[in-house]
Amino acid sequence: HHPEHKSTAYDLALIARAAMMNPEFAKIVGTSTWTWEHPTDTRVLVNRNRLLWQFSGADGVKTGWTSQSGRSLVASATRDGWRLISVVLNAPMMFTESMRLLNHGFDSFASLKVAPRGAVLARAHVGEQELRAIVLADVYAVVPKGRTVTSRVTLRRDLTLPIARGSNVGEAVFLNAGAEVARAPLVAAGDIYPPSMAARIRRWLRSWQLWWR
Protein backbone atom coordinates (compact mmCIF):
# COMPACT_ATOMS: atom_id res chain seq x y z
CA HIS A 1 0.00 0.00 0.00
CA HIS A 2 1.14 3.53 -0.78
CA PRO A 3 -0.67 6.59 0.63
CA GLU A 4 -0.72 8.21 -2.83
CA HIS A 5 -1.93 5.07 -4.60
CA LYS A 6 -5.56 5.99 -5.18
CA SER A 7 -8.28 5.04 -7.62
CA THR A 8 -12.06 5.03 -8.02
CA ALA A 9 -14.73 2.47 -8.82
CA TYR A 10 -15.13 4.08 -12.24
CA ASP A 11 -11.39 3.78 -12.96
CA LEU A 12 -11.43 0.11 -12.02
CA ALA A 13 -14.49 -0.53 -14.20
CA LEU A 14 -12.73 1.02 -17.20
CA ILE A 15 -9.61 -1.06 -16.57
CA ALA A 16 -11.68 -4.23 -16.23
CA ARG A 17 -13.58 -3.51 -19.44
CA ALA A 18 -10.33 -3.11 -21.36
CA ALA A 19 -8.76 -6.18 -19.75
CA MET A 20 -11.75 -8.41 -20.54
CA MET A 21 -11.23 -7.68 -24.23
CA ASN A 22 -8.07 -9.80 -23.98
CA PRO A 23 -9.17 -13.42 -24.55
CA GLU A 24 -6.37 -14.91 -22.45
CA PHE A 25 -7.09 -12.60 -19.51
CA ALA A 26 -10.83 -13.32 -19.76
CA LYS A 27 -10.15 -17.06 -19.78
CA ILE A 28 -7.96 -16.86 -16.67
CA VAL A 29 -10.28 -14.72 -14.53
CA GLY A 30 -13.28 -16.81 -15.60
CA THR A 31 -11.71 -20.08 -14.44
CA SER A 32 -13.27 -21.30 -11.18
CA THR A 33 -10.73 -24.05 -10.44
CA TRP A 34 -7.38 -25.08 -11.90
CA THR A 35 -5.44 -28.25 -11.23
CA TRP A 36 -1.68 -27.91 -10.87
CA GLU A 37 0.06 -31.20 -11.41
CA HIS A 38 3.62 -32.05 -10.46
CA PRO A 39 5.40 -35.42 -10.40
CA THR A 40 5.38 -35.37 -6.60
CA ASP A 41 2.26 -33.32 -5.90
CA THR A 42 -1.14 -32.28 -7.28
CA ARG A 43 -2.93 -29.18 -6.13
CA VAL A 44 -6.31 -27.69 -6.99
CA LEU A 45 -6.41 -23.91 -6.99
CA VAL A 46 -9.83 -22.37 -6.32
CA ASN A 47 -10.77 -18.90 -7.52
CA ARG A 48 -11.74 -16.62 -4.62
CA ASN A 49 -14.47 -15.00 -6.73
CA ARG A 50 -17.56 -16.89 -5.53
CA LEU A 51 -19.73 -15.27 -8.18
CA LEU A 52 -18.27 -17.69 -10.73
CA TRP A 53 -20.49 -20.45 -9.32
CA GLN A 54 -23.11 -18.41 -7.47
CA PHE A 55 -24.26 -15.96 -10.17
CA SER A 56 -25.58 -16.82 -13.62
CA GLY A 57 -23.26 -15.56 -16.34
CA ALA A 58 -20.43 -14.52 -14.00
CA ASP A 59 -17.08 -14.58 -15.81
CA GLY A 60 -14.63 -12.47 -13.75
CA VAL A 61 -12.86 -10.45 -12.58
CA LYS A 62 -10.87 -9.91 -9.34
CA THR A 63 -11.24 -9.86 -5.58
CA GLY A 64 -9.04 -7.66 -3.42
CA TRP A 65 -8.30 -6.62 0.13
CA THR A 66 -6.04 -4.23 1.99
CA SER A 67 -6.44 -2.84 5.48
CA GLN A 68 -7.08 0.59 3.96
CA SER A 69 -9.51 -0.33 1.18
CA GLY A 70 -11.28 -3.24 2.86
CA ARG A 71 -12.88 -6.07 0.88
CA SER A 72 -13.37 -5.13 -2.76
CA LEU A 73 -14.57 -6.88 -5.88
CA VAL A 74 -14.55 -6.05 -9.56
CA ALA A 75 -17.12 -8.42 -11.07
CA SER A 76 -18.22 -9.22 -14.59
CA ALA A 77 -21.21 -11.14 -15.92
CA THR A 78 -22.40 -11.81 -19.46
CA ARG A 79 -25.93 -12.70 -20.51
CA ASP A 80 -27.25 -12.91 -24.07
CA GLY A 81 -23.98 -11.50 -25.35
CA TRP A 82 -24.18 -8.43 -23.11
CA ARG A 83 -21.53 -7.90 -20.44
CA LEU A 84 -21.96 -5.80 -17.30
CA ILE A 85 -19.18 -4.87 -14.89
CA SER A 86 -19.71 -3.92 -11.25
CA VAL A 87 -17.27 -2.54 -8.70
CA VAL A 88 -17.70 -2.46 -4.93
CA LEU A 89 -15.05 -1.02 -2.59
CA ASN A 90 -14.76 -1.43 1.17
CA ALA A 91 -17.77 -3.74 1.06
CA PRO A 92 -17.91 -6.40 3.82
CA MET A 93 -20.69 -8.16 1.86
CA MET A 94 -18.95 -7.73 -1.49
CA PHE A 95 -20.43 -10.80 -3.20
CA THR A 96 -24.00 -10.00 -2.13
CA GLU A 97 -23.66 -6.34 -3.09
CA SER A 98 -22.12 -7.22 -6.45
CA MET A 99 -24.95 -9.61 -7.27
CA ARG A 100 -27.48 -6.91 -6.37
CA LEU A 101 -25.78 -4.42 -8.69
CA LEU A 102 -25.53 -6.87 -11.58
CA ASN A 103 -29.13 -8.02 -11.17
CA HIS A 104 -30.27 -4.41 -11.18
CA GLY A 105 -28.34 -3.80 -14.38
CA PHE A 106 -29.75 -6.82 -16.21
CA ASP A 107 -33.29 -6.24 -14.91
CA SER A 108 -33.50 -2.49 -15.52
CA PHE A 109 -31.40 -1.77 -18.62
CA ALA A 110 -31.12 -3.03 -22.16
CA SER A 111 -28.51 -2.82 -24.89
CA LEU A 112 -30.23 -1.52 -28.03
CA LYS A 113 -28.89 -1.55 -31.56
CA VAL A 114 -29.69 2.04 -32.49
CA ALA A 115 -28.12 1.92 -35.96
CA PRO A 116 -27.15 -1.16 -37.99
CA ARG A 117 -23.96 -1.26 -39.99
CA GLY A 118 -24.38 0.53 -43.31
CA ALA A 119 -27.52 2.42 -42.27
CA VAL A 120 -28.00 5.70 -44.12
CA LEU A 121 -28.49 8.31 -41.40
CA ALA A 122 -28.38 11.41 -43.58
CA ARG A 123 -28.65 12.53 -47.19
CA ALA A 124 -27.45 15.86 -48.49
CA HIS A 125 -26.41 17.57 -51.68
CA VAL A 126 -22.78 18.57 -52.11
CA GLY A 127 -22.69 20.76 -55.15
CA GLU A 128 -24.99 18.98 -57.58
CA GLN A 129 -24.33 15.47 -56.25
CA GLU A 130 -26.09 13.51 -53.51
CA LEU A 131 -24.18 12.40 -50.44
CA ARG A 132 -25.33 9.41 -48.38
CA ALA A 133 -23.86 9.33 -44.88
CA ILE A 134 -23.66 5.90 -43.23
CA VAL A 135 -22.27 4.23 -40.10
CA LEU A 136 -19.49 1.69 -40.64
CA ALA A 137 -20.41 -0.59 -37.73
CA ASP A 138 -23.41 -1.48 -35.60
CA VAL A 139 -24.07 1.19 -32.98
CA TYR A 140 -25.37 0.13 -29.56
CA ALA A 141 -26.65 2.15 -26.62
CA VAL A 142 -27.47 1.11 -23.06
CA VAL A 143 -30.75 2.65 -21.89
CA PRO A 144 -33.44 1.94 -19.29
CA LYS A 145 -35.82 -0.73 -20.54
CA GLY A 146 -38.81 0.67 -22.41
CA ARG A 147 -37.08 3.91 -23.34
CA THR A 148 -36.62 5.17 -26.89
CA VAL A 149 -33.54 6.63 -28.53
CA THR A 150 -33.43 9.57 -30.93
CA SER A 151 -30.58 10.69 -33.14
CA ARG A 152 -29.02 14.03 -34.04
CA VAL A 153 -26.88 14.17 -37.16
CA THR A 154 -24.28 16.81 -37.93
CA LEU A 155 -22.57 16.94 -41.32
CA ARG A 156 -19.29 18.72 -41.88
CA ARG A 157 -19.63 22.21 -43.32
CA ASP A 158 -16.40 22.01 -45.34
CA LEU A 159 -17.43 19.18 -47.68
CA THR A 160 -16.36 19.67 -51.28
CA LEU A 161 -16.16 17.33 -54.27
CA PRO A 162 -14.65 14.90 -54.88
CA ILE A 163 -15.45 12.81 -51.79
CA ALA A 164 -13.93 9.35 -51.47
CA ARG A 165 -15.94 6.40 -50.21
CA GLY A 166 -15.36 5.95 -46.47
CA SER A 167 -14.32 9.56 -45.91
CA ASN A 168 -15.52 11.13 -42.68
CA VAL A 169 -18.45 13.42 -43.43
CA GLY A 170 -20.00 14.01 -40.02
CA GLU A 171 -21.21 12.51 -36.78
CA ALA A 172 -24.36 11.02 -35.28
CA VAL A 173 -25.25 11.46 -31.61
CA PHE A 174 -27.89 9.23 -30.04
CA LEU A 175 -29.97 10.57 -27.17
CA ASN A 176 -32.25 9.20 -24.48
CA ALA A 177 -34.34 11.81 -22.67
CA GLY A 178 -31.94 14.46 -23.93
CA ALA A 179 -28.82 12.71 -22.61
CA GLU A 180 -26.17 11.30 -24.93
CA VAL A 181 -26.00 7.50 -24.87
CA ALA A 182 -23.91 6.79 -27.99
CA ARG A 183 -21.91 8.55 -30.67
CA ALA A 184 -20.68 7.36 -34.07
CA PRO A 185 -18.77 8.85 -37.01
CA LEU A 186 -20.50 9.08 -40.39
CA VAL A 187 -18.74 8.26 -43.65
CA ALA A 188 -19.58 8.58 -47.33
CA ALA A 189 -21.35 5.51 -48.69
CA GLY A 190 -19.62 5.82 -52.06
CA ASP A 191 -17.29 7.88 -54.20
CA ILE A 192 -18.76 11.21 -55.30
CA TYR A 193 -17.26 13.16 -58.19
CA PRO A 194 -18.12 16.51 -59.73
CA PRO A 195 -20.47 16.08 -62.72
CA SER A 196 -18.74 15.83 -66.09
CA MET A 197 -19.02 18.59 -68.66
CA ALA A 198 -21.36 16.41 -70.73
CA ALA A 199 -23.63 15.85 -67.72
CA ARG A 200 -23.71 19.57 -67.02
CA ILE A 201 -24.68 20.32 -70.63
CA ARG A 202 -27.46 17.70 -70.55
CA ARG A 203 -28.79 19.13 -67.29
CA TRP A 204 -28.69 22.65 -68.75
CA LEU A 205 -30.57 21.51 -71.87
CA ARG A 206 -33.26 19.80 -69.81
CA SER A 207 -33.69 22.92 -67.70
CA TRP A 208 -33.89 25.07 -70.83
CA GLN A 209 -36.51 22.78 -72.40
CA LEU A 210 -38.65 22.89 -69.28
CA TRP A 211 -38.38 26.66 -69.17
CA TRP A 212 -39.27 27.00 -72.87
CA ARG A 213 -42.40 24.89 -72.46
Domain ranges of the chain: 9-109, 116-188
Taking a C-beta distance cutoff of 8 angstroms, is the pair 106, 79 a contact? yes
Q: What is the mean pLDDT of each run of 10 residues along the chain (213 residues)?
A: 87 98 98 92 95 97 92 97 96 98 98 97 92 97 96 96 96 97 98 73 60 58
Q: What homologous superfamily does CATH list for 9-109?
A: DD-peptidase/beta-lactamase superfamily (3.40.710.10)
CATH topology of domain 116-188: Peptidoglycan synthesis regulatory factor (PBP3), Domain 2 (2.60.410)
- The answer to whether residues 98 and 107 touch, using CB atoms and an 8 Å cutoff, is no
Q: What is the pTM of this model?
A: 0.78
